Amino acid sequence: MDLNKKRWIILGACCIINLCLGSIYAWSVFSASMSQYLSTHLNTTITSADLAIVYTVANSVGPITMISGGWINDKFGPKIVLLVGTSMYSLGLILSGFTLSIPMLLITYGIIGGLGLGMAYGCTISTAVKFFPDKRGLIGGLTTAVYGLSSVVVSPIVTILVQKQNAPFAFKTIGIIFLVVMVLCALNVQSCPKDYVPKGYKTESNVVNSTNDKNYKQMLTSPIFYVMIILLTCGAFSGMMIISQAAGLAQEMVQMNAMAASTAVSVLALFNASGRIVAGSLSDKIGRIYTLVIALVLSILGVGILYTIHNGDVAKFYVAVSIVGISFGAFMGVFPGFTADQFGAKNNSVNYGIMFIGFAAAGFFGPTVMKSVGTYTSAFLIAFVLNCCGLLLCVLYHQLTKKTKYNV
């Protein structure tokens, strides 16, 4: 099959895999039901906040396999990386259905699932972006959008499975289904040929020429890298903080019931996914950094609204999490193409894996801050400050690059 046509099949397979992997964004629904199950089984009180460490670990260990898997991808192709990564993530879900303690859940979901997630997620994005140098922003947005969209599908399914059986049953069922689907998709993914150019594509001024491809060592010597990775942490912080406990926030802040809270998680995911596609496409037109500035301003608005919410402010809660979802999605949609633009597509599997450490940092500190500072309002203030820091970093990035040939 002509590669110009087959790349769309490969894109579709990558998107389906990411749809399964994105179930991590439904963690708040899993944790709400799992905390009740463990409380009953252990005869003690365990809350969703107590299980937030599992989500934190799952996000934090991802860059380890994103980087190592990226190296394997660049050397031997994406198929083996995806087969291993997707199997690990599915196994983590299945084994979570057999756990009876938080430490065991940390191992099964946090470590096994998190390592598998990082390996597969980094591979799908870098592979898809390589096949579409003509649409980097859009493809980066699309592949990450289906990842963010997953909780829209998974959250209500998990809720139904829990209501019919229990949380362990939901883990096992979802894990088995994902294993079959993702392995079948992985078998349809192949490497992008070196220097592949789509038919009719002409290099645009905002894309770095292939002669400027940088390996990870060269990237780490660039001051721009450190501005970008800290910017990613600041920009993703609000989203990671709220996504990790969205269902709990809905129930505690505005007194939603479990099903309504699940709906709120789905709404957040919808706007998260929409932000990735819209921002990715927009960044192809107005530039990556200007798109991120818009995202940061929106995030400031979203956490500001959350700060003012009181019991019963359901409408305001929906508006706030929708805005935060769009902003968070924008960062996740723009950064794959942003990294490839800045440091080249050749080594983007490894380079983006390293850049993703910024996201992992947000995944660690966001939920940790939410649990540790004592009140939600204090957490929202911290998020507000970090978004403002992100705006300053955008200015610094612009200053560092304005004398280069890149059109950001």
Nearest one of 249, 254, 246 to 311, comparing CA atoms: 254
- Mean pLDDT score, 172-180: 95
Q: Does pLDDT of 208 surpass 50?
A: no
pLDDT at 130: 85
Q: Which residues of 1-37 are buried (b: 16+ CB within 10 A; e: fewer)?
A: eeeeeebeebbebbbbbbbbbbbbbbbbbbbbbbbbb
- Contact of 168 with 37, CB cutoff 8 Å: yes
Nearest one of 348, 406, 393 to 143, comparing CA atoms: 348
In the Cβ-directed half-sphere of 290, how many Cα atoms lie within 13 Å? Answer: 10
Mean pLDDT, the chain, integer: 86
pLDDT at 151: 75
pLDDT tens readout for residues 317-346:
889 999 999 999 999 889 988 998 889 877
Of the ranges 45-54, 204-213, 232-241, which one carries the lowest mean pLDDT score? 204-213
pLDDT at 206: 43
Q: Tell me, rounded to whole angstroms, the distance of Cα 4 from its chain centroid.
A: 28
pLDDT at 200: 67
The one-letter amino acid code at 191 reads S
- Mean pLDDT score, 183-209: 74
Domains of the chain: 7-189+214-401 (1.20.1250.20)
pLDDT at 201: 67
- Round to whole Å and give the CA distance between 178 and 172: 10
Handedness of CA 16, 120, 176, 107 (dihedral sign): negative
Of the ranges 155-159, 243-247, 269-273, 347-351, which one carries the lowest mean pLDDT score? 243-247
pLDDT tens readout for residues 376-403:
888 999 999 999 999 999 999 988 887 6
- Contact of 401 with 224, CB cutoff 8 Å: yes
Prediction pTM value: 0.76
Q: Specify the length of the chain in residues.
A: 408
- Round to whole Å and give the CA distance between 264 and 247: 7
pLDDT at 203: 58
Q: Does pLDDT of 14 surpass 60?
A: yes
**Token pair of 245 as six digits:** 């406990």
pLDDT band at residue 353 using 50, 70 and 90 as cut-offs: confident
Of the ranges 154-168, 196-210, 372-386, 394-408, which one carries the lowest mean pLDDT score? 196-210
Q: Tell me how far CA of residue 227 lies from CA of 97, 282, 346, 385, 394, in angstroms.
A: 41, 22, 21, 17, 8
- Mean pLDDT score, 399-408: 64
pLDDT tens readout for residues 69-104:
888 888 888 999 999 999 999 999 999 999 988 899
- Contact of 253 with 312, CB cutoff 8 Å: no
Cβ contacts of residue 299 below 8 Å, gap of 6+?
235, 238, 239, 323, 324, 327, 328, 383, 387, 390
How close are the terminal C-alpha atoms of the chain, in Å?
35
pLDDT at 260: 80
pLDDT tens readout for residues 242-272:
877 777 788 888 888 777 887 887 788 889 8
Of the ranges 26-35, 272-281, 348-357, 377-386, which one carries the lowest mean pLDDT score? 26-35
- Contact of 250 with 258, CB cutoff 8 Å: no
- Round to whole Å and give the CA distance between 318 and 295: 18
pLDDT at 36: 82
Nearest one of 184, 115, 100, 131 to 348, comparing CA atoms: 131
pLDDT at 403: 61
pLDDT at 62: 83
- Mean pLDDT score, 164-184: 92
**Exposed / middle / buried, residue 153 (Cβ in 10 Å: 0-12, 13-18, 19+):** middle
- Mean pLDDT score, 287-307: 94
* Helix (H), strand (E), coil (C) string for the chain: CCHHHHHHHHHHHHHHHHHHHHHHHHHHHHHHHHHHHHHHHHCCCCCCHHHHHHHHHHHHCHHHHHHHHHHHHHHHCHHHHHHHHHHHHHHHHHHHCCCCCHHHHHHHHHHHHHHHHHHHHHHHHHHHHHHCCCCHHHHHHHHHHHHHHHHHHHHHHHHHHHHHCCHHHHHHHHHHHHHHHHHHHHCCCCCCCCCCCCCCCCCCCCCCCHHHCCCHHHHHCCHHHHHHHHHHHHHHHHHHHHHCCHHHHHHHHCCCCHHHHHHHHHHHHHHHHHHHHHHHHHHHHHCHHHHHHHHHHHHHHHHHHHHCCCCCCHHHHHHHHHHHHHHHHHHHHHHHHHHHHHHCCCCHHHHHHHHCHHHHHHHHHHHHHHHHCCCHHHHHHHHHHHHHHHHHHHHHHHHHHCCCCCCC
- Round to whole Å and give the CA distance between 205 and 213: 15
